[in-house]
């Protein structure tokens, strides 16, 4: 099949690559750009492990062809840079168990807090809905999102 040239900004770096026209964003990020923090979960968009940000919005990268995001800015877990308040809160609340969903959970939480800096418990549950945790740490996830919201608010005020 014929290759398609795509230009995508990934974590602030412009990437220009020839790809198969149907290549999915998750495979592009992992195999072409080397951003292996984005996890292949279910390949059906049901689990959320592959969540990244496209133009500032949380998106399931396993169902989006990379050519659909050409020209957009994509942010991966690596793009958070480590030490992000959401990542800190995940550790402090001891959310990680098997760790499989963690990348998607964190990216979903960051997007939620960017859109809704002080979410209610209901907004947290709704905002995190659909990112599955096989270990069932939902109360810890909710606590971590609350903790991160507090940390981000304190940082903004400070």
pLDDT for 83-109, tens place per residue? 899 999 999 999 988 888 899 999 999
DSSP readout, the chain?
---EEEEEEETTEEEEEEE-TT-BHHHIIIIIS--TTS----SSSSS-TTEEEETTEEEETTSSBGGGGTTSEEE-GGGG-S--HHHHHHHHTT--SS-TTHHHHHHHHHHHHHH-SS--HHHHHHHHTT---TT--HHHHHHHHHHHHHHHHHHHH-
17-55 pLDDT, tens per residue?
A: 999 999 999 999 999 999 999 999 887 888 999 999 999
User: Is this structure's pTM higher than 0.75?
Assistant: yes
What is the pLDDT confidence band of residue 15, given thresholds at 50, 70 and 90?
Answer: very high
């Amino acid at each position: 099949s014929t290759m398609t040239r795509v230009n995508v900004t990934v974590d602030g770096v412009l990437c220009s690559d020839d790809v198969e026209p149907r290549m999915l964003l998750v495979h592009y990020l992992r195999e072409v750009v080397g951003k292996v923090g984005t996890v292949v979960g279910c390949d059906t968009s049901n689990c959320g492990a592959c969540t990244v940000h496209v133009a500032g919005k949380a998106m399931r990268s396993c169902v989006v062809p990379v050519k659909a995001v050409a020209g957009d800015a994509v942010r991966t877990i690596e793009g958070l840079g480590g030490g992000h308040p959401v990542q800190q809160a995940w550790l402090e609340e001891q959310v990680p168990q098997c760790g499989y969903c963690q990348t998607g959970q964190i990216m979903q939480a960051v997007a939620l807090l960017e859109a809704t800096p002080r979410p209610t418990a209901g907004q947290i549950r709704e905002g995190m809905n659909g990112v599955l945790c096989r270990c069932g740490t939902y109360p810890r996830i909710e606590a971590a999102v609350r903790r991160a919201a507090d940390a981000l608010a304190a940082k903004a005020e400070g």
